[in-house]
Structure 1
Amino acid sequence: MSLTKQSTAKVRSIVLGAAGYSGAELAVILARNPYFELCGAFASAGRKTQPFSELYPRYKQQLDIDVQPWQDELATELKGKIDVAFLALPHEASEAITPILLAQNIDVVDLSGAFRLKQIEQYPEYYGYAHQHPELLAEAVYSLMEWQQTALPRLISVPGCYPTACSLALMPLVQAGLLADNCVPVINATSGVSGAGRKAALSTSFCEVGLSAYGFFKHRHRPEIEQNLGRKVVFTPHLGNFKRGILATSVVTLNAGVTAEQVKHAFSQAYANKPLVRLLDHSPNVADVAGTPYCDIYWQQDGEQLVVVSALDNLLKGAAAQAMQAANVRFGKPETAGLFAGVFS
């Protein structure tokens, strides 16, 4: 194993899963964050060592770091050399490696679903496996950053892409008490094909995808959204024929007499000092958030009915950018450091 030259003045970091889309975005963000140092990039054990710019040629002469195969034995070598590991791994893999890294006093920022749900019995139903670390579920803090109320600990669980888009759209209404007691939000959300990951599959081939719904009532992000909002939802995800981005349309019922001014105040108050949420006067477009760390939000009211539309980049605000937000805050750095294009634009 080799690490890049380290600077004690910076937060020393590694990315596991750097060959995948979200992990690659994280590697780029970390490399341009002046407060962090990307000291290593890793992929699954079965892969050969490859230059990052060979996996992603657009970064040639911009990010020249090798993506090395990971072995759990490497964790002991990293003790004292690395401050934080970002995990862009499958859920079970993240759960398995997290206690190994924590034992070496390495913080973990996990982008998988391994620590998002607080009810351990939901994992077999929604993730297809039995969770083995209830003590880490209790320790992990879920980092929906615009609504983060507690200090971020050594284990941070980054929200899913769909839950980020849907929760940011509806949390202001929930917190302001504007939703009717019997309201069950109906959410239809469409993601680009990058949400399925980089591994080739016919069902997510760009030439095969049109527009289709899937995951009826059983999608793993449904309980995460319900956990955030504190109420049941009807959530139907869709797969669209575009590379990246999510557009979520949420329909809710307001309490009788709620005015347009009250709705506007709820959103304005919630996001007044949140630099990565943009409140629009027109319906958002995934083309306008692709490649950015923003979530765009718009709403329209008709009496007690309200439609809220939100859009974000599933790989950035829905994954890597939010992970960077959380790590910036965890280590006392500016929240948006590294999130805006510079040398890698």
Structure 2
Amino acid sequence: MNSTHQNCAEASWDFGFLRYPHSIQFEGGSVEVGEQYAAACEEIDKYRHRDGNLYPPIQRTVPIDWQTGEHGDPLENTERPARVFPPPLSHEIFISSRIDDGDIRRGDAALIVHLLALLFDTRLQFDGWRFDGKVPIPDKSSILLLRGALEDSLSAIYQNWRLWSESHRNFFVKILYMHARAKSCEWSWYRFLTEYMVLDAIHRFSVQRGILKNEVKHRDRIIQMCEQFEVPQDARTIESIVSVRNELIHEASIEGALPGTRTDDTFHLSKWLGRLNSRLIFAVSGYPNEFVRSGWWFFGWQRFNKADRNCR
């Protein structure tokens, strides 16, 4: 149920799909398992591809008799994957005292929901809005949440976020959204570019908030942020990321070839860049922990513990 109380403080909204059968309590609100959770799980189990993604359904053009409202038979040669499709709704988010009277799907609730998407390696969407492209729904996240870390991180980051200016709050939500959306890119080079866009946005956000003293050239931005936030570095991987970015942006090629025409490094580099962005996102939100200070240029699970300090 989606609702906003007349005092403009309390609000709630349904969203999905999150395979997590427990309520989540955080300072300022909660996430509750919805009545439709079991049905949503059944829908996901039925339609999720073996590769772990939920793909857009097939749509067809159907004629309608405008006088009777009756539908005719689907027209031939009109089948195609839907451009957008609704999320299977699994949970409801409650905000006890939202920061303004705007749409919580763009503010308070958006922050929490997209943080959950990051922590659970998926994409999430609100009731009334739509997904575009495939939606990753893994059996397990690459982030191993330790006891109490989920609730603690949501609480701390939400309270930090409320202290920021409106422009910075909106900026950070956009970063979270685009970081999640990158997982829907079919081509690895396209995902790489999307993740690099997120990296640039994190850098600009850090400069605007005064966390970084100045903007530096692209080749130095990863190193600058890693040094600032105590994120480990791998010189060879960083050099490869910068090199591929420059070639894609300035020459529309990868290793001298058209993107997508042969095997290249963007499959791994897009993954590494996404993992780096995940760490930087928690760092700039004021939640430094072991996860932030862990390596990002390889596959595997990574522990996510409570922050050892909270820098607001």
TM-score relative to the length of structure 1: 0.26
TM-score relative to the length of structure 2: 0.28
Per residue, is there more helix in 1 or in 2?
2
**Highest CA radius of gyration, 1 or 2?**
2
